[in-house]
C-alpha cells in the first residue's frame, strides 16, 4: 500500500489536521488564520480532549498521520503529561488541551481580539 507523499501546502496540511482531529473526536475545534499576523505559521488550531489519555492519543495520531501522508516530522511538546500538547508542523501550530487547562490559558482570546471584545 505504498503511496507517493502528497506535496504539503499549508491549506492541505490544515485540511489533514482538521480531518485527523475530527476522526479522533477532538472537541471545540477552533482554527485561526495567522497569515499576515505573525511569522510563526499560517494557521493555528486549538482543540480539547476529554482526558489526558485522549489528549495524548489525539496528538500521537495526528503526528503519525502527517508523517504518513506528507512525510512531515512535526515537533511535539507536552505529550507525556497530556494536559496541553503543542504540535508544530512548520505551517500549522496545533494546541490540544484538557478542557480545564484550555479555559485557564484562553489562547483563542489572544489571537481573536474581536471574540474577546464581544465578551
58-84 pLDDT, tens per residue?
A: 999 999 999 999 998 999 999 888 899
In the structure grid, which three cell numbers stand for residue 83, read together? Answer: 494536559
115 band by pLDDT with thresholds 50, 70 and 90: very low
Q: pLDDT digits over 25-58, tens only?
A: 999 999 999 888 888 889 999 999 999 999 999 9
**Helix or strand (DSSP H, E) at 92:** strand 92-97
User: Between 52-70 and 10-23, two packed helices, what is the crossing angle to 10 degrees?
Assistant: 140
Can you give the pTM of this predicted structure?
0.86
Residue 49 contacts residue 55 (beta carbons within 8 Å): yes
Amino acid at each position: 500500500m505504498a503511496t507517493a507523499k502528497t506535496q504539503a501546502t499549508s491549506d492541505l496540511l490544515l485540511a489533514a489536521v482538521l480531518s485527523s482531529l475530527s476522526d479522533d473526536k477532538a472537541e471545540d475545534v477552533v482554527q485561526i488564520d495567522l497569515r499576515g499576523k505573525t511569522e510563526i505559521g499560517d494557521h493555528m488550531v486549538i482543540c480539547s480532549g476529554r482526558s489526558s489519555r485522549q489528549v495524548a492519543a489525539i496528538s500521537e495520531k495526528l503526528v503519525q498521520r502527517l508523517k504518513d501522508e506528507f512525510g512531515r516530522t512535526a515537533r511535539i511538546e507536552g505529550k507525556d503529561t497530556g494536559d496541553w500538547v503543542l504540535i508544530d508542523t512548520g505551517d500549522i501550530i496545533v494546541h490540544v488541551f484538557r478542557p480545564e487547562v484550555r479555559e485557564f490559558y484562553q489562547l483563542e482570546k489572544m489571537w481573536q481580539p474581536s471574540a474577546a471584545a464581544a465578551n
